Chain A
Amino acid sequence: MHWLDWLLIAVLPAWVVFDGVRRSRAHTGLEGFFLAGRGVRWWAVGMSVMATQASAITMISIAGHGYEHGLRWLHVYLALPFAMVILCTTVVPWFTRARVFTAYEYLERRFDGTTRTCASVLFLVSRGLAVGTSLYAPSIVLNLVLGIPQALAIALMGGVSTAYTIFGGNAAVIFTDVKQMVVMFLAIGCSLYAALQGLPAEVGFGDALALAGASGRLQAIHVAPDAAHVFADRYNLVAALIGGLFLFLGYFGADQSQVQRFLAGKSVEHSKASLLVSAYLKVPMQFGVLLLGALIYVFYMFAPAPPFFRTADLERAVVAAGAPEQAEWQRLRQEFTAVGERRAAAALGFVQQHEPRDPAALRQQNERVREVRAEARALYGRLTGSTEGDGDFVFPHFFLRQLPVGILGLVIAAIFVAAMSSLDAQLNSLATSSVIDLYARARPGVTEGAIVRASRWATLFWGLFATVSAYWVASLGQMIEAVNVIGSMFYGSLFGVFVLGWLCPRARGRDGWLALAGGFAATMFTHFVVNAEPIELDGRKMPPVGFLWYNVIGCAGVLVVGNLLAWRHRGR
Chain B
Amino acid sequence: MSEPIDSKTWRRIYVATVAYGLLTIAALAWFTAAYA
CB within 8 Å of B: which residues of A? 41-42, 70-71, 74, 78-82, 84-85, 88-89, 209-210, 212-213, 216, 218-222, 237, 267, 269-270, 272-273, 276, 279-280, 283, 287
Contact = CB atoms under 8 A, between A and B. Distances in A.
Contact of A81 (B17, B31, B35): B17
Contact of A220 (B4, B20, B31): B31
Contacts of A88: 10, 14
B14 A219 contact: no
A221 B13 contact: no
A481 to B, nearest CB: 21
Given A82-B21, A218-B35, 9 more contacts: A78-B25, A81-B21, A213-B36, A220-B31, A221-B28, A221-B32, A269-B5, A279-B21, A280-B20
B28 A210 contact: no
Nearest to A223: B29
Interface of chain A, helix or strand or loop or mixed? Answer: helix
Contacts of A218: 31-32, 35-36
A221 B25 contact: yes
Given A269-B1, A270-B1, A283 B24 contact: yes
B17 A280 contact: yes
Nearest to A209: B35
Interface hub of A85, A89, A210, A272 (most chain B Cβ within 10 A): A85
Contacts of B4: 267, 269
A80 B20 CA distance: 11
A213 B17 contact: no
A548 B13 CA distance: 28
A259 to B, nearest CB: 20
A85 B11 CA distance: 10
A204 to B, nearest CB: 14
B17 to A, nearest CB: 5
12 contacts: A74-B28, A82-B18, A88-B10, A213-B35, A219-B32, A221-B25, A221-B28, A221-B32, A222-B32, A269-B5, A270-B1, A279-B21
6 closest Cβ pairs, A-B complex: A81-B21, A213-B35, A220-B28, A219-B36, A218-B35, A221-B29
Interface in B2-24: 4-5, 10, 13-14, 17-18, 20-21, 24
A279 B1 CA distance: 18
Nearest to A219: B36
A219 B36 CA distance: 5
B13 to A, nearest CB: 7
A68 B18 CA distance: 31
Contacts of B32: 218-222
